[in-house]
Structure 1
Amino acid sequence: MRPAMLIRLALLALLVAFIVTPETFAPVFQPFTKNGAPAIYTQTSLLSLTLSHLAIVAVATVAATLFSVGLAIIVTRPFGVEFLPLSRSIANIGQTFPPVAVLALAVPMFGFGPIPTLIALFLYGLLPIFENALTGLTNLPGNVSEAARGVGMTGRQRLTQVEFPLALPVILAGVRLSVVISLATATIGSTVAAKTLGEVIIAGLLSNNTAFVLQGGLVVGVLALLIHDAFVMFERSIARRTGRLY
């Protein structure tokens, strides 16, 4: 087994151990506390916060992926080419309005809880997935597309059996970027009562407890690293199967 894989497995084991039994790691974080403050955040279970954080990111990413890939498919068909400028404007909405602004606009309409955070993450994740899907679907080898037409494939068959499988590694790269961004951005959801790891970070900032801030930040950072690497391996595996290794 390669050293890089061993490091990832060790990080995963440490992460699981920490979120399941955080009290075990109290001596590690004790030096970062002041005036006898607790070293481990216990207001809410770290395990439940982590699972809730991942669930919010997963739901927002799946929704953004379905919307963005669907939009990219439409504008790469002959009947939808004219909608490309409009689709780019839609995908750019999330980058135009910062997540904090989206939360501020969504809370009056949907109230406190996870929904404003889901909306913010959905909008913020559109652009990287859409642009990668567009790139993947428009930069296919010309001879492959011509061969598919030559054997009599319909437009739907070309899309599902040729174009989409070949574009999938590039699309997944966009999903990976969106997930990593969302993992970090989701922490602000705790400001509107969404259950995320931002709760630990905010508690640390309010109480001037660096240990709490480190705990929330490290869990989010390690999650982002592990999920990023898992996506990279998955992308390369699919790319090898399709002959488009990059």
Structure 2
Amino acid sequence: MTGRILLAGAAAFLLAFLIAPASFAPLFQPFTRNGAPAIYAQTSLLSLTLSHLAIVAAAVAGSTVVGLVLAVLVTRRAGREFLPLARTVTAIGQTFPPVAVLALAVPLMGFGTGPTLVALFLYGLLPVFENAMAGLTGQPPHVTEAARGMGLTPGQRLRQIDLPLALPLLLAGMRLTAVISLGTATIGSTVAARTLGEVIIAGLLSSNTAFVLQGGLVVGILAVLIHHGFQGLENRVRRRMGVD
């Protein structure tokens, strides 16, 4: 109960701050120097937050689709030989830092949202792929035998048994990808993507700690809310499936 109250309080604080940030100026004023503004006002914090979330959502959706398709492919009999290749491809995003991916993508795609989406997409592939594969291959033996006894085709077993049972682990992979992408997306502002990194960078360039705190605070609260949102969904799915 206490955790829910704290989450609700954090969500209410975040919403109030994004709607009327100027009213929180006294809270951040002690972190300014030489009469600098306490609240970032060059761009609407609400619009930056919505843009940040949209970029993260698009990247997570892309990583989930591709990661799940690859996991299904390599866990079928015809695709098992491609497992090493799939693991190599999905590990690329974790091998190359997102900053390096941005540096490579900008000459090809130009400045803006595109390079950031590519970096987040690649960075989020591995958690989704590994969790989906674990869910698809970790079925209890009695479930496998029951499916065979029912005469289900491979396609029917995938749709009716494997994917539903793998859903909690898949959601866990999406949760990890979403939280990581939420923080990593801030670097997108270095290539002109509209993210909350704009506030943090403005604070660093002007030595205004208040701006840095505002950007970090919004990202941090969003990360906590998204983490607990996915976790609640995972628990709900597990309860419906009768899995502890």
- Bin the TM-score by the shorter chain: over 0.9
Match of 1:46 in 2: 45
Among all aligned residue pairs of Structure 1 and Structure 2, give the percentage whose two residues are the same amino acid: 66
Match of 2:121 in 1: 122
Tell me the distance in 2 between the aligned counterparts of 1:95 and 1:7. 33
Match of 2:32 in 1: 33
Deviation digits for residues 155-212 of structure 1, max 9, x if unmatched? Answer: 1111111111011001110110000000000000000000000000000000000000
Match of 1:90 in 2: 89
Tell me the distance in 2 between the aligned counterparts of 1:130 and 1:190. 28
Match of 1:70 in 2: 69
- Identify which range, 139-148 or 114-123, moves more after superposition: 139-148
Alignment: residue pair count: 244
Match of 2:233 in 1: 234
Tell me the distance in 2 between the aligned counterparts of 1:111 and 1:228. 32
Structure 1: unaligned runs, 5 residues or longer: none
Tell me the distance in 2 between the aligned counterparts of 1:88 and 1:143. 29
For 2:68, the aligned partner's letter is V
Deviation digits for residues 125-158 of structure 1, max 9, x if unmatched? Answer: 0001101011111111111111012111111111
Tell me the distance in 2 between the aligned counterparts of 1:17 and 1:149. 55
For 2:40, the aligned partner's letter is Y
Deviation digits for residues 82-116 of structure 1, max 9, x if unmatched? Answer: 00000000000001110000000000000000000
Report the alpha carbon displacement of residue 244 of structure 1 after superposing the two structures with TM. 2.0
Tell me the distance in 2 between the aligned counterparts of 1:155 and 1:243. 24
For 1:11, the aligned partner's letter is A
**Aligned positions of 1:160-199 closer than 5 A:** 160-199=159-198
Tell me the distance in 1 between the aligned counterparts of 2:148 and 2:44. 56
Deviation digits for residues 27-66 of structure 1, max 9, x if unmatched? Answer: 0000000000000000000000000000000000000000
Match of 1:143 in 2: 142
Tell me the distance in 2 between the aligned counterparts of 1:186 and 1:94. 14
Question: What is the alpha-carbon root mean square deviation over aligned residues?
Answer: 0.6
Decide whether the 8 Å contact of 1:59 with 1:118 is kept in 2. Answer: yes
Match of 1:107 in 2: 106
Equivalent position SS for 1:92: helix
Decide whether the 8 Å contact of 1:201 with 1:217 is kept in 2. Answer: yes
Tell me the distance in 1 between the aligned counterparts of 2:2 and 2:164. 31
Runs of 4+ in 1 over 2 A off after TM superposition: none
Report the alpha carbon displacement of residue 242 of structure 1 after superposing the two structures with TM. 1.2
Structure 2: unaligned runs, 5 residues or longer: none
Tell me the distance in 2 between the aligned counterparts of 1:7 and 1:97. 37
Tell me the distance in 2 between the aligned counterparts of 1:95 and 1:85. 16
Match of 2:202 in 1: 203
Match of 2:211 in 1: 212
Match of 2:56 in 1: 57
For 2:130, the aligned partner's letter is E
